[in-house]
Amino acid sequence: MRELLAIDLGNTETVLGLFRGRDLVHHWRIATDVQRTPDELAHILGHLVSDRIAGRPLKGIIGSVVPAVEPILIRGFRRAFDSEPRLISDPAPLATDGGPLPIRLDVEEPHTVGADRMLNTLAAKLMYGVDIIAVDLGTATTFDCITGEGVFLGGVISPGPRAGIEGLAHQASKLPFIDLVPPVTVIGRRTEDCLRSGCFYAIVDGIDGMTRRIKEEWGRPDAVVLATGGLAGLIAPHCRAVDIVEPYLTLYGLEIADRLLGDREGG
């Protein structure tokens, strides 16, 4: 059975998913750090994965929005598994008319679309096949409009949940840094509780409000709202608009892309 390590290389975190066939059987998150060497990454990857594959051949695919880390990660993967991973960093050639993937980037500048948004489009089409607003809660919070036919129409990019908290703590010297957790009450009676409520519910209500605006402008009132990313499980249950929570949508997109591309792109 085909074993694949799918790697979603993001600005803050790198998410790893081990697939057996089409099943995601293990997943991990590590910090994205441009200072790491290939040897360090080879050690991390080998430590996490080697016991799970017991010497069996392992393929790899990387979806990246961090060009500076790509060559380091590729060399680390080679050293860990003696295999060349496939790299997806420019999605435009893969998702245009006549391209190898059954999706299309219907935007003015396809070459500026991040690989993660293209992979989410691919996964949304083949896993759900309905009009979807994919809300990806990462370093940035992105809202992607994806038709049931797999057309990416664009969307919205806003600061991610932690960016606002860190920015506030740095700009206001008397305000403490807080963890992003659901508050006990909306009205806080201590400064820390006020901050926790304000930061958390600003994110929640921002998702509800933005998806409402998108549905109105798109003319798709029945579009399914799908939350993904590392904070989806924490935030989405408090959102009225979210219909589906799938934290690993991008990893599934990588697995699907690798399967559909086969040997056409190498790797």
Catalytic positions are: 116
Write the DSSP assignment of 122-179 as a string of letters: HHHHHHT-S-EEEEEESSEEEEEEE-TTSEEEEEEEEE-HHHHHHHHHHH-TTSPP--
- What is the distance between the terminal CA atoms of the chain, rounded to a whole angstrom? 17
- The rounded distance, in Å, linking the Cα atoms of 81 and 161 is 35
Sign of the C-alpha dihedral computed for residues 258, 18, 75 and 72 taken in this order: positive
Q: How far is CA 185 from CA 27, 197, 223, 238, in A?
A: 33, 7, 31, 13
- Environment class of residue 181 by beta-carbon count within 10 Å: exposed (0-12), middle (13-18) or buried (19+)? exposed
- Residue 93 CB coordination number (10 Å): 14
